[in-house]
Amino acid sequence: MRKKGFSLCLAAITCVSLLAGCGEKAKESQTADNTSAVQTQEQEAADEQNGEVIQLKFTSWSAGGEQKAVKQALASFEEQNPGIKVEAEFIDNANYTAKINTLMAAGDAPNVAQLNGYLAPEYGAKGQLLDLKPYLEGQVDFEDILPEAIFEYDDKIWGMTFGVECQMVLYNKALFEEAGIDAPSTDAANPWTWEEYVDAAVKLTKDINGKHPGEEGFDSNNISVWGTKVFDSPIFNFTLLNSNGGAYIAAEGDRLLVDSEESKEVLKELQDLIYVHQVAPKPAVTSAMPSSQQMLMDGQLGMYMAGQFEIATFAEAEWGDFGVAPLPKFKKPASMIWGEPLVVYDSKDEKVNEAAVKLVLALSNPAEVNDLFVTAAQMPIYKSWYTDPEKKAVWTDNAWHNESLMSYFDSLFQTETTSREAYYVKNYDPIMAIVQPRLDKIWDGVDVDTALEGLQDEVAPEMQGYYKIVDYYSDAK
């Protein structure tokens, strides 16, 4: 767990002289940055005149509205850096790691790639990644960067996110009003209880005749509006497990915790959304449905647990009738802020490496490429972009960063958030490859104890401990 070291609430920024001082420092810093940028652009212009254009390859799993924002950001980068061209490839998330491994084996690795965080120290230790630390020193203020944004292991920085992400409940405001449900609190420290979430899901769910679960004649095979959904992605359910004192894997990376009583209680509650409360579709039904974002916009889904990046799809569709709330709690409130790193594969060509690092820095800077941040596809990694009113307005002064979302952001950065275990548990992917099929059985209706039986022994050979990630404040530290 980690405690935020700064406050985002603008109401708390009352010291005018402090803001003025910060403004002057920001101007001085910006002036220095601008001078450096001008010099670099002049060199790139000269290189271009000499026919020396650097070609970079970039890969990402971004999709939907987020992919559109990434493409716009890359176009902005090329416009500002005429001596650098970026070839982007977007790969399906399910096949992403396998494709990256294939490219590396063929000697055709991308220069810059989005990468699952748990792979950064592994690839770095093999000498496949560029240590970003000597490139970032002198270019960024590490005190201004959120700890979740830097992947530093053993004094080497193997990756840096271009933005951070957070979890939330997204809901259709019109459906809430129609069902007579009061808007939930946006305070991350004061979320709905799990029981309140279930109660709201029951009120939202209705069949083609307008009947709700529990009412006589309710037809669960003909639903016009689902109250919520259950997702098989560990990243969302992990936070709920944490809220009840559970987890998938122990912080030390030496055993599972998914079969603890605390974790099993949450898994059973999630399963009950489908088979007991009848407010969420079965997996077979879900796979044939439109996306959750589309269903929410179309009034076919009342609410679901999501990442803020999904708002980018709403922005693309120009739909703003959504509300935001923290994830519901079991024993305690639980939230998570995370970001997958951008890594630079070492090309052994210093000019190319420097251009690649420049792309990483540009994608994380709302002043250079704000497409990612205006649409909520990403949240800035720099604290000053939350606390400085002028900077904050650059990415939040739009319809998608509505009052509900900004109220949640303000509270989120003042509360404790859990550390994503994928970033410090060694061998995370092979471990979860064994765990996931057991979880799928639970979503298919198999008894939780039966589904998890014998799992500890099966996974034991894959347990290899944990990485000590600098400044991430994991429980394993």
What are 389-422's pLDDT values in tens digits?
A: 999 999 999 988 999 999 999 898 888 777 778 8
Query: Tell me, what's the pLDDT at 362?
Result: 93
* pLDDT tens for each residue of 59-76: 999 888 788 889 999 999
Instruction: Specify the range with the lowest mean pLDDT, choosing from 21-35, 40-54, 369-383.
Output: 21-35
Classify strands 112-114 and 54-60 as parallel, antiparallel or unpaired. Answer: parallel
Region 85-110 average pLDDT: 92
Task: Look at domain 23-162+340-387 and name its CATH class.
Answer: alpha beta
C-beta neighbour count of 3 within 10 angstroms: 9
Confidence bin at 282 (pLDDT 50/70/90): very high
Alpha helices (H) along 81-223: 96-105, 120-125, 133-136, 173-179, 194-204
Question: Could you tell me which residues are beta bridge partners of residue 2?
Answer: 417
Region 375-381 average pLDDT: 91
Residue 34 has pLDDT above 60, yes or no: no
CATH fold group of domain 166-337+418-462: D-Maltodextrin-Binding Protein; domain 2 (3.40.190)
Q: What is the mean pLDDT of the chain?
A: 86
Stated pTM of the model: 0.82
DSSP state of 149: G
The string of DSSP letters for 226-285 reads BS------HHHHHHHHHHTT--SB-TTSSSB-TTSHHHHHHHHHHHHHHHTS--S--HHH
Query: Tell me, what's the pLDDT at 174?
Result: 98
Measured over the CA atoms of residue 292, residue 294, residue 300 and residue 302, the dihedral's sign is: positive
Query: Tell me, what's the pLDDT at 350?
Result: 95
Highest mean pLDDT among 11-25, 114-128, 193-207, 243-257: 193-207
Residue 80 near residue 110 (C-beta atoms within 8 A): no
Residue 271 has pLDDT above 90, yes or no: yes
Query: Tell me, what's the pLDDT at 14?
Result: 32
Region 90-118 average pLDDT: 91
Residue 375 near residue 311 (C-beta atoms within 8 A): yes
Confidence bin at 232 (pLDDT 50/70/90): confident
Query: Tell me, what's the pLDDT at 473?
Result: 35
Confidence bin at 43 (pLDDT 50/70/90): low
Distance CA(178)–CA(131), nearest Å, equals 54
Decide: residue 398, CB within 10 A, 0-12 exposed, 13-18 middle, 19+ buried. middle
Query: Tell me, what's the pLDDT at 147?
Result: 85
Strand locations in 8-53 (E) = none
* pLDDT tens for each residue of 283-342: 888 888 999 999 999 999 999 999 999 998 999 899 999 999 999 999 999 998 888 899
Counting every residue written for the chain, the total comes to: 477
Region 13-37 average pLDDT: 39
Query: Tell me, what's the pLDDT at 23?
Result: 39
Residue span(s) of the chain under CATH 3.40.190.10 come to 23-162+340-387, 166-337+418-462
Query: Tell me, what's the pLDDT at 17?
Result: 34
The encoded tokens of residue 9 equal 């609430």
The encoded tokens of residue 57 equal 């390859």
Residue 409 near residue 373 (C-beta atoms within 8 A): no
* pLDDT tens for each residue of 112-137: 999 988 888 888 988 899 999 999 99
Region 11-39 average pLDDT: 39
C-beta neighbour count of 122 within 10 angstroms: 19
Distance CA(116)–CA(298), nearest Å, equals 32
Residue 396 near residue 406 (C-beta atoms within 8 A): yes
Residue 146 near residue 459 (C-beta atoms within 8 A): no
